[in-house]
Structure 1
Amino acid sequence: MSKDPLVSIIIANYNGENYLKTCLKAVLASTYRNFEVFLVDDGSTDASSSVIKRFAKKDSRIKLLRNKVNKGAAASRNIAFGLVKGRYLFFLDNDTEVDKNCLKRLVEFMGTHNDIGGCQALIYDFLDRRKIQNPGVKLWAASGWGLPIARTKKELKKTKDYDIAAISAALMVRKEAFNYINGFDELEAVVTEDLDFSWRMWLSGYKIVLVPDAKIFHWTKSVDMRENLGQDYVKIYFHLTKNSILSIYKNYELVNMIKYLFASCVISLSRSLLIVIKRRSFSSLIGTVKGLAWIIANLSTITKMRKKVQSKRKLSDNMLFNKILLKDNWLSIYKRYYSTSGLL
């Protein structure tokens, strides 16, 4: 046990009562045993805390932290970071089920690749366990949105490029890397906060890669499923718009920031209008306008954040364009990734 570095598992939870039992049972069944679990209940209104307490009573490695009000996944993870003792941090979503060897394989990979700042497990669909859900993404340069490096096992076998921006459903990072980039941006809060985190990891010189033999299973939530869960779509599109523009404003060098800011605004508005037409819902348009208004109202704050991010920069934008940023045109992006999507 002493040779195995401690892993601090951090799970941000909001109203995840129906998922937590499966998630925690799988974690506790891991073949890798040297871990602690920080489960941050983010102002849940369901019985999440009761579920967590039952598990914590049986296993002292599980620790419950509670936010009195909902602060978002980014803030919840940062709160847990103040208490962790592990060499590695493993961010896990509450609606996941880790394969029993997942932790072991990620730790082994990190231990033999000192040039890596973080790595992601290969995410499969929870119900169709042969179907790849997300192997990690490249970032669309014009928006900061994530574009999967592959959508099938066949595509994944063909690609030899495992450099990715990671999904926080199954992301392991070195503690010192998390600390160096100041953790998650709490203004991004939810939805795409993990993509911004990965972008800042990369520009700060910390590489993130996919580890395909580490597996995890994750629920896919379509638009209809999200609506049935009572999710606020105005809020979702607010965060999508806000986070897209915020990441571009903070993370690009000056010339590219100016170049892509306008593109991001146009893309967000175009997406919202397309959704109005396709789904006859104005929630996307309302959320997008609110996101744009938030950026304008908070320009002074995000300008200060930009200075902090740029002060950590070790890789140029040109280097990142060769690694994780894609310049594909808008039409090809839409046809390949979004025309048949059930996620937006």
Structure 2
Amino acid sequence: MSSNLPLISILIPVYNVEAFVQEAVLSICNQTYKNIEIIVVDDCSTDGTYNVVAELVKIDSRIKLFKNEKNSKIVKTLNFALEQAKGDFIARMDGDDVSAPERLEKQLDFLIKNPQYYLVGSHVNTIDPNNIIIGKQEMPIKDKIINKTIKYASPVLHIWLAKRKVYNQLNGYREVPGAEDYDFLLRMHSLGLLFTNLNSFEYSVRIRDGNTTSTIGFNQRLMSNYVVELYEMRVTTGQDNFTSLNVQEYLNKYSGYRENFDKSNILLQKAFMAKGHKKFFKMFIFLIMSICKSRFQTQYLYKRIFSKLLLKG
């Protein structure tokens, strides 16, 4: 691969992923597209995550390793990584997931051949801690479907490749904990900047106890609702009243519903795991129990089912 091709900067925020981070980073190091820089930022892990990546730095000079002075959470960590990036294209990767070898090459090829698009994701597999595939998620491809589903669910997962100028235009990520990626896409959509997905599976998201995917929290559900409200405000009035104070007020408003949601979320996670292992009766029971526990979970599942129905036409 010629070195005069565009530089891709891959942002990898990591926190307590000692058991998986080597496989994650190596899946990027071993991409068929070679003109990359890999920016890993450790958010003050309490395990050996930093040391594992430090060993990888010794064998691949494209890896740039940083460590936050204090635990700063995902948005500040991502924006710090973005400040270090020199590439014309920005990619995302989580420290416990796996990228297919041709992921970046295919995504970059799509953006170059389809200049009307500014960002592209892909379909994803879901895997367990032992790398066994327990599910598949097809993402929308057609603009018409993306426009219809965007208020119900994020049409592109965070594992995208985007043009750097989009990040410059949006000034990076905003502090909406757990919904920063969805907010990013909604702000793009407000500006008429197109995005889509490859019609192929180029990424595997790991489901395990303790990671973001398996512990999707109450705040994340609330923030997803909040960023959609901001989006609708921009579309109808052209205004956006996002502030850190408004975010906190929104979280405080619904704080009394947290306990039931947390119980519901445990049941929902059990339902997903049962589905992955084809135990459908058990999945159904856990799903009903989860819905009965929390109206926010019911709302989430309704949006998820509705967006899938739209996706299937």
2: distance between equivalents of 1:214 and 1:239?
25
Q: Which residue of 2 aligns with 1:336?
A: 305
**Aligned-pair Cα RMSD in Å:** 3.9
- Are the aligned partners of 2:111 and 2:117 in contact in 1 as well (CA < 8 Å)? yes
Give the C-alpha shift of residue 201 in structure 1: 1.5
**SS of equivalent residue, structure 1 residue 18:** coil
- Are the aligned partners of 2:186 and 2:231 in contact in 1 as well (CA < 8 Å)? no
Q: Residue type of the partner of 1:5?
A: P
Structure 1 pair 58/202, CA: closer, same or farther in 2 (3 Å)? same
Which of 167, 174, 177 is 2:157 aligned to? 167
TM-score norm. by structure 2 comes to: 0.70
TM-score norm. by structure 1 comes to: 0.64
1: distance between equivalents of 2:213 and 2:99?
25
Give the C-alpha shift of residue 276 in structure 1: 6.9
Q: Which residue of 2 aligns with 1:146?
A: 153
Give the C-alpha shift of residue 122 in structure 1: 1.8
Q: Which residue of 2 aligns with 1:178?
A: 167
1: distance between equivalents of 2:223 and 2:301?
24
Q: Give 5+ residue unaligned stretches, structure 2.
A: 241-245, 268-297, 308-313
Give the C-alpha shift of residue 62 in structure 1: 0.2
1:104 aligns with 2:93: no
Which of 222, 230, 241 is 1:241 aligned to? 222
Which of 156, 173, 179 is 1:192 aligned to? 179
Give the C-alpha shift of residue 19 in structure 1: 1.4
Give the C-alpha shift of residue 208 in structure 1: 1.1
- Are the aligned partners of 2:153 and 2:304 in contact in 1 as well (CA < 8 Å)? no
Q: Which residue of 1 aligns with 2:135?
A: 131
Give the C-alpha shift of residue 82 in structure 1: 1.3
- Are the aligned partners of 2:126 and 2:136 in contact in 1 as well (CA < 8 Å)? yes
Deviations 1:116-170 (A, max 9, x none): 11000221122444831352696998x95526xxxxxxxxxxxxxxxx3x221x1
- Are the aligned partners of 2:207 and 2:213 in contact in 1 as well (CA < 8 Å)? no
Identity %: 19
Give the C-alpha shift of residue 115 in structure 1: 0.8
Give the C-alpha shift of residue 11 in structure 1: 0.5
- Are the aligned partners of 1:87 and 1:175 in contact in 2 as well (CA < 8 Å)? yes
Structure 1 pair 270/90, CA: closer, same or farther in 2 (3 Å)? same
Which of 186, 191, 195 is 1:204 aligned to? 191
Q: Which residue of 1 aligns with 2:282?
A: none
Q: Which residue of 2 aligns with 1:324?
A: none
**SS of equivalent residue, structure 2 residue 34:** coil
Q: Residue type of the partner of 2:157?
A: I
Give the C-alpha shift of residue 34 in structure 1: 0.6
Output aligned runs, 1:9-24, within 5 Å. 9-24=10-25
Give the C-alpha shift of residue 252 in structure 1: 2.4
**SS of equivalent residue, structure 2 residue 176:** coil
2: distance between equivalents of 1:182 and 1:205?
16
Give the C-alpha shift of residue 57 in structure 1: 1.2
Q: Residue type of the partner of 2:221?
A: L
Give the C-alpha shift of residue 253 in structure 1: 2.9
2: distance between equivalents of 1:206 and 1:37?
26
**SS of equivalent residue, structure 2 residue 92:** strand
Output aligned runs, 1:153-302, within 5 Å. 164=155, 166-168=156-158, 170-185=159-174, 187-189=175-177, 191-213=178-200, 215-221=202-208, 225-226=209-210, 236-249=217-230, 252-253=233-234, 255=236, 275=261, 278=264
2: distance between equivalents of 1:246 and 1:176?
22
**SS of equivalent residue, structure 1 residue 70:** coil
**SS of equivalent residue, structure 2 residue 47:** coil
Q: After the TM superposition, which of the residue ranges 47-56 and 200-209 deviates more from structure 2?
A: 200-209
Q: Residue type of the partner of 1:133?
A: Q
Q: Residue type of the partner of 2:222?
A: T
2: distance between equivalents of 1:88 and 1:62?
16
Q: Residue type of the partner of 2:305?
A: R
Give the C-alpha shift of residue 337 in structure 1: 6.7
Structure 1 pair 82/205, CA: closer, same or farther in 2 (3 Å)? same
Give the C-alpha shift of residue 12 in structure 1: 0.9
Give the C-alpha shift of residue 213 in structure 1: 2.8
**SS of equivalent residue, structure 1 residue 253:** helix
- Are the aligned partners of 2:179 and 2:223 in contact in 1 as well (CA < 8 Å)? no
- Are the aligned partners of 1:119 and 1:209 in contact in 2 as well (CA < 8 Å)? yes
The count of aligned residue pairs is 259
1: distance between equivalents of 2:58 and 2:3?
25
